[in-house]
Structure 1
Amino acid sequence: MQISFWSFVCNQWTTPKPVLTTDLAGKTVVVLGANTGIGFEATKHLARMNPGRLILACRNQTKGEAALGKLKAETGYTKAELWIVDLADFASVKHFAQRFEQDGGRLDILVENAGVAAWDYVPTKDGWETSLQVNDLSTPLMALLLLPIMVKTAKDHATIPRLVVVSSEVHYWVTIDKSLIEGPNLFKVLGSKEYCHSTPKVLEDRYLLTKLLNVFFVRALNARLPPATPLVVNTVNPGYCYSELRRTFSGIRLMLDNLMQWCLAFTTEQGSRQLVWAAVAHQDDPDKLRGQYITASKVEEVSDFVLSPLGAKAQDRLWDEMVEILGKVDPKVHDIVDKYLSDSPSA
Structure 2
Amino acid sequence: MPDSWLYPALGAAAVIGILTFGIPLFLAEYFPWRSIYNQRHGKPTVKTESYKGRTAMITGANGAYGSRAAKIFAHRDIDTLILVDVADSGRVKKEIEDELTAKNKPVPKILIWKVDMMTFAGCKELADKAKRELKDGYLDHVLMTVGILSFNRRESPEGWETSIQVNYLSNALAALLLLPLLKSSPSNPNAPVLTFVTSFGIYPASFTMGVPKTGSYLKKLSNNRDGLEQGHQYGRSKALLLYFARELADRVSAVYTGKNKVTINSADPGSAWTPLTAPNQGMLIPRLIMNFGARDAKYGAAALVNGVSASWEEGHGKIMQDFDTATFPPFMLRKSGQVAQQRAWDETRAEFEAKVPEVKAIYELLERK
TM over 0.5: same fold? yes
Question: What is the CA–CA distance in structure 2 between the aligned matches of 1:84 and 1:59, rounded to whole Å?
Answer: 5
- 1:257 shift after superposition: 5.5
Contact 1:236 1:293 in 2 (8 A): yes
Match of residue 273 from structure 1: 302
Does residue 292 of structure 1 match 2:318? yes
Pick one of 333, 348, 352 that aligns with 1:307.
333
Correspondent of 2:150 among 118, 133, 146: 118
Query: Does 172-181 or 261-270 show the bigger shift?
Result: 172-181
Aligned: 1:54 with 2:81: yes
* Residues 181, 155 of structure 1: alpha-carbon distance in 2 compared, 3 angstrom cutoff: farther
State the distance in 2 between where 1:244 and 1:6 align. 24
Counterpart of 2:121 (choices 91, 103, 107) is 91
Contact 1:41-1:269 within 8 A present in 2 as well: yes
When Rg is computed on C-alpha atoms for both structures, the one with the higher figure is 2
Question: 1:128 and 2:153 equivalent?
Answer: no
Counterpart of 2:356 in structure 1 is 330
Contact 1:20/1:281, CA 8 A, preserved across alignment:
no
After superposing the two structures, state which structure 1 stretch, 167-176 or 90-99, moved more: 167-176
Letter in 1 for 2:251: R
Pair 1:342-2:367 in alignment? yes
Letter in 2 for 1:279: V
| 8 Å contact from structure 1 (residues 129, 191) kept in 2 | yes
Residues 176 and 316 (structure 1), Cα distance of their counterparts in 2 relative to 1, 3 Å cut: farther
Q: SS in structure 2 opposite 1:280?
A: coil
Specify the SS of the correspondent of 1:125. Answer: coil
Q: CA deviation at 1:123?
A: 0.8
Instruction: Select the residue among 130, 136, 144 that pairs with 2:176.
Output: 144
In the TM superposition, 1:81-230 aligns within 5 A as: 81-103=111-133, 104=135, 105-150=137-182, 153=184, 159-175=190-206, 180-192=211-223, 196-197=224-225, 200-227=227-254, 228=257, 229-230=260-261
CA distance in structure 2 between the aligned counterparts of 1:330 and 1:179, rounded to whole angstroms: 28
TM-superposed deviation, 1:121: 0.8
1:246 aligned onto 2:277? yes
Q: Distance in 2 between matches of 1:44 and 1:162?
A: 18
Q: Secondary structure at the match of 1:111?
A: strand
Task: Please report how far the alpha carbon of residue 335 of structure 1 lies from its aligned counterpart in structure 2 after TM superposition.
Answer: 0.7
For 1:131, the aligned partner's letter is S
Q: CA deviation at 1:261?
A: 5.2
Please provide the CA RMSD for this pair: 2.5
Cα separation, partners in 2 of 1:260 and 1:153, compared to 1, 3 Å: closer
- 1:229-255 superposed Cα distances (whole Å, 9 cap, x missing partner): 5100000110011222124457x41x6
**SS class of match (1:60):** coil
Q: SS in structure 1 opposite 2:273?
A: coil
Q: CA deviation at 1:266?
A: 1.0
Contact 1:30 1:55 (8 Å CA) reproduced: yes
Q: Letter of the aligned partner of 1:58 in structure 2? A: D
Contact kept? 1:181, 1:314, Cα under 8 Å: no
Q: Is the Cα contact below 8 Å between 1:22 and 1:280 reproduced in 2? A: no
Distance of 2:308 and 2:240 partners within structure 1: 20
Once the two structures are superposed, residues 125-150 of structure 1 have per-residue CA deviations (whole angstroms, 9 ceiling, x without a partner) of: 22211111101100011100011111
Q: CA distance change for structure 1 residues 277 and 242 in 2, over 3 Å: closer, same or farther?
A: same
**Quick one: structure 1 residues 263 and 89, their matched pair in 2 at CA, closer, same or farther if it must change by over 3 Å?**
same
Q: Is the 8 A contact 1:178 1:310 kept in 2?
A: no
State which drifts further: 322-331 or 137-146: 322-331
Q: CA deviation at 1:342?
A: 2.8
- Is the contact between residue 145 and residue 197 of structure 2 (CA under 8 Å) also seen in structure 1? yes
Whether 1:75 aligns to 2:100 is yes
Rounded to whole Å, the distance in 1 between the matches of 2:330 and 2:292 is 28
Letter paired with 1:96: L
Could you tell me how far 1:14 is from its partner in structure 2? 2.0
Within 1, Cα distance between the matches of 2:84 and 2:291?
A: 30
CA distances 1:252-271 after superposition (whole Å, capped 9, x unpaired): 41x66566655641111111
Describe the superposition over 1:264-321 as per-residue Cα deviations: whole angstroms up to 9, x where unpaired.
4111111101101101234xxx222110011223111111101110000000110111
**Residues 205 and 233 in structure 2, CA contact (< 8 A), matched pair in contact too:** no
Q: Could you report, residue by residue, the CA deviation over 1:159-203 in whole angstroms, capped at 9, with x for unpaired residues?
A: 5100000011222223266863432211122112xxx11x72111
The alignment's TM-score, normalised by the length of structure 2, stands at: 0.82
Residues 87, 114 of structure 2: 8 Å contact kept = yes
Provide the rounded CA distance (Å) in 1 between the counterparts of 2:314 and 2:54: 21
The answer as to whether partners of 1:222 and 1:233 remain within 8 angstroms in 2 is: yes
Give, in angstroms, the shift of residue 51 of structure 1.
1.8
Please, which runs of 5 or more residues in structure 2 have no aligned partner?
1-27, 102-106
SS in 2 for 1:244: coil
Matched residue pairs, number? 331
Tell me, yes or no, if the aligned pair for 1:242 and 1:268 is still in contact at 8 Å: yes
